[in-house]
Amino acid sequence: MHLYIHIPYCQSKCPYCDFNSIAGREDEFERYVSALLRELSRLPQGPYRTLFMGGGTPSILPPRLLERLCRGIAEHCDLAPDYEWSMEANPGSVDRQRFAIAADHGVNRVSIGVQSVHQHHLAFLGRGHTVEEADQAVAAAQTCFQRVSCDLMVGLPQQTMGELSLELDWYRRHGLRHASVYHLAFEPGTEFHAKYRRGDLSPIADDISQAMLHQVDKTLQEHGLEAYETSNYAVPGEECQHNLAYWQQRSYWAVGAGAVSTIDTLRCTRERHPGRYIAAIESGGDAVWSTEQLGPKELLAECWMLGLRLRQGVSQQRLRSYGDDPQRYQQRLSELCAMGYVTCHGDAICLTPSGRPLQDAITIALMPEDDFQPS
């Protein structure tokens, strides 16, 4: 079993972020933690293989509330012997005390939103921390957790290959065994998207983008980290098991504002606004805003989209179980293999290193048309 716990609060809203997060509202933290634990009490006790406290910024909670939340989770949830319990954190909102509290209650993995180790890029991204605080956060985390990951963003306007090399070398210097590397995108609803629509912000050229992604692949592999998913690299054995559960279409529970759970074929999305979420839980409701029953067509589409993200690829047997006949996509698959973008390993269809930067286009090429009806 897998469980996601959402903390929607941040010190400020980053201009590129389209996650369900909100700045400020510190006066709401206490009631929000109470609502989380109340919703959690209604869920099965486990055993849970993975838990993930994401956001927003879970580390923004004051030590007293972080301790209350972690203790409540640990008391309710039975954990599998080889469990993974992750917590997201941002430099500038964490310290040794918060990390120690989380570790004492069972958190054994932390993911830190560093994003850049150049101050001018941090300013562009709206990040509230300094490069020095990023170094301090990683050092503090490594005293409490065996598994520490950091996020990095590439494809920033004016970012140079030399700067990217320094960013990647930072991973080596800290001895990090997991990295999440995201290419900047102007997502609808964000400040950057509005600037893009006005012509005030432009994406980098495609050839530069691909060169940067190639440099990421090459350098992290030299550091011993392999790409096990489109944006994630790890020393073998250090992969994030919780995120793998999503990509492998496993069932997962969730609590919190805007949190999404998928149990078998039922997907439930909770009220996004934290104030309305709190009110719904306090009144005895479940805060579920929408439900969706996933049919064969939806499951097949997700099988293609999620499976091609993974190094291990998408299983053709699994595709057949969702009603997709290999004869439908065989010609396109052969063409993409001949172009060097896709390869087949036994039952699996996998993207090659050349194909990964073109993942979206390749996925669209292989997926069924909208009017396709699974057999």
CA distance 307 to 315: 7
CA distance 97 to 66: 10
Parallel, antiparallel, or unpaired for β 260-263 and 178-183? unpaired
pLDDT at 353: 86
CA distance 50 to 115: 25
pLDDT at 50: 98
Q: What is the pLDDT of residues 30-52, one digit of tens each?
A: 999 999 999 999 999 989 999 99
pTM: 0.92
Question: Contact 111/104 with Cβ under 8 angstroms?
Answer: no
Question: Contact 67/36 with Cβ under 8 angstroms?
Answer: no
Q: What is the pLDDT of residues 78-106, one digit of tens each?
A: 999 999 999 999 998 888 899 999 999 99
Single out the residue of 338, 324, 309 nearest to residue 367, CA to CA: 324
Q: What are phi and psi of 310, to 5 degrees?
A: -90, 145
What is Dmax (Cα atoms) for the chain? 59
Angle value at C-alpha 80, between 77 and 83, nearest 5 degrees:
95
SS3 (DSSP) at 50: strand
Of 59-63, 244-248, 269-273, 371-375, which range is least confident?
371-375
- Helices H, strands E: what count in the chain? 14, 17
